[in-house]
Amino acid sequence: MVMGAAGSKLEKALGDQFPEGERYFGLENFGNTCYCNSVLQALYFCVPFREQLLEYYANNKNMGDAEENLLTCLADLFTQISSQKKKTGVIAPKRFVQRVKKQNEIFRSYMHQDAHEFLNFLLNELVDILEKESNATKTSPEASSSKKLANSPNHNLPNGTHKEPRVTWVHTTFQGILTNETRCLRCETVTARDETFFDLSLDIEQNTSITSCLKNFSSTETLNAEDKFFCDKCCSLQEAQKRMKIKKPPNILVIHLKRFKYIEQLGRYKKLLYRVVFPLELKLSNTISNADSEYSLFAVVIHVGGGPNHGHYVSIVKSHNHWLFFDDENVEMIDESAVQTFFGSAQEYSSNTDHGYILFYESTGGRS
């Protein structure tokens, strides 16, 4: 088998440094499902997510003929990977992909799909399922204890609101809170509105850094002309200043680079090939508390190709201080310095079309 050969090559490359208990498996492509595979690898190597999903599986496996859903399919897939006897190889995520296509017609076609849309869809689906289960547990207290996982007390938000929205482990892993502060320029009243997010979608510019994109994201924007703000105090549309700050930084910070931009003159989407550098370490300084929350890069979903409607997705992942390259079935070890080959192109036209598209940073706790 081709896969066996590839596996042994990776094992050879890692040698006795192969991490204890870790599995590196490629994922088979079922016709343009690389958008799915690349995101799955990033999520698999998102350790807190994987651990909670495996725990969920362990707690639910005895339920036997429980109804299949996207969560059970994903838990099943991750368990399948982590319990492989071999250290490397290839797995076919068939049941999971079928479930995705059943659930959402967008992903049913064999067309090229957007990995970010898929990630969004997946996380929101998981949340829905977990919330439903949690509701079911509440209404029937004698239900199996395993279902309480989603509702365990340590999974509450730090600044627990009174409405007490359901908080699942997907939330505790990915959710952050933004505060949108708007200051009316007439009466100076500041209106703050919180919104939650699973990822930050950033506008990008040529030859900039993620730090700079985040700064722009939080920079003050003036609302005027067509875009005035309705001030409750003035009871009218007013000019205002608006800015976004991070109220609660997430544990896993997912950054989506808006590389696919609708160009009005062209009447279609265009891929921005811009070079946007992203460091292996990052701090969010646009927080309300002014505390610097610290992050470390552990996965990147990469879009390969010159346009938005075709191309390929691969991912790079950091596991136990090694960087790995996942391209569907294929898994290779790469040097850390290879990460910079996915920054993008400094010039408009370039032969390099491998661009970092979704960045996954994990909190390293340090909040000075």
User: Cβ neighbours of residue 86 under 8 Å, at least 6 residues apart?
Assistant: 7, 23
221 lies in the binding site for other proteins (CB under 8 A): yes
| One residue of 102, 193, 215, 233 binding Zn ion per CB under 5 A | 233
Rounded to whole angstroms, how far apart are CA atoms 136 and 221? 44
Binding of residue 194 to other proteins (CB under 8 A): no
Structure tokens, 67: 């109804």
What is the rounded distance in angstroms from the CA atom of residue 74 to the CA atom of residue 96?
6
Residue from 10, 73, 115, 282 touching other proteins (CB under 8 A): that is: 282
Which of 34, 36, 46, 184 does the annotation list as catalytic? 34
Asked if 66 is part of the footprint of Zn ion (rule: CB under 5 A), the reply reads no
Q: Of Zn ion, other proteins, none, which one does residue 208 interact with (CB within 5 to 8 Å by kind)?
A: other proteins
Taking CB under 8 A as the criterion, which residues in 291-350 touch other proteins?
291-292, 294, 336-337, 341, 346-347
Residue 83 CB-density burial (10 A; 0-12 exposed, 13-18 middle, 19+ buried): exposed
* 184 binding partner (options other proteins, Zn ion, none; Cβ < 5 to 8 Å by kind): Zn ion
Nearest to 253 by CA among 300, 295, 215, 195: 295
* Catalytic residue flag (residue 112): no
Q: Give the range of 115-123, 125-133, 166-174, 227-235 binding Zn ion by CB under 5 A.
A: 227-235
User: Is residue 228 within the footprint of Zn ion (CB under 5 A)?
Assistant: no
Which residues are CB-neighbours of 368 under 8 A, at least 6 positions away? 291, 292
Task: Name which of other proteins, Zn ion, none residue 234 binds, using a CB cut-off of 5 to 8 Å depending on partner kind.
Answer: Zn ion
332 binds, among Zn ion, other proteins, none (CB under 5 to 8 A by kind): none
Please list, in sequence order, all residues whose beta carbon lies within 8 angstroms of the beta carbon of residue 179, skipping any fewer than 6 positions away: 192, 193, 194, 244, 245, 246, 247, 288
Is residue 281 near other proteins by the rule CB under 8 A?
A: yes
Give whichever of 97 and 231 is closer to Zn ion, judged by the CB atom: 231
Is 353 a binding residue for other proteins by CB under 8 A? The answer is no
256 is in the binding site of which of Zn ion, other proteins, none (Cβ under 5 to 8 A by kind)?
other proteins
In Å, what is the CA distance from 233 to each residue of 191, 219, 223?
10, 24, 17
Contacts to Zn ion from residues 184-223, by CB under 5 A: 184, 186-187
Active site residue 34: yes
Phi, psi of 98 (to 5 degrees): -60, -40
Structure tokens of 363? 């909190």
Using CB under 8 A, pick the residue from 185, 234, 277, 334 that binds other proteins.
277
- Out of 275, 312, 318, 355, point to the residue binding other proteins (CB under 8 A): 275
Task: Decide: is 241 part of the binding site for other proteins (CB under 8 A).
Answer: no
Residue 195 binds other proteins, judged by CB under 8 A:
yes
Q: Is 217 in the site for other proteins (CB under 8 A)?
A: yes
User: Computed from CA positions of residues 185, 191, 195, 200, in that sequence, does the dihedral angle turn out positive or negative?
Assistant: positive
103 binds other proteins (CB under 8 A): no
Q: Which residues are catalytic?
A: 34, 312
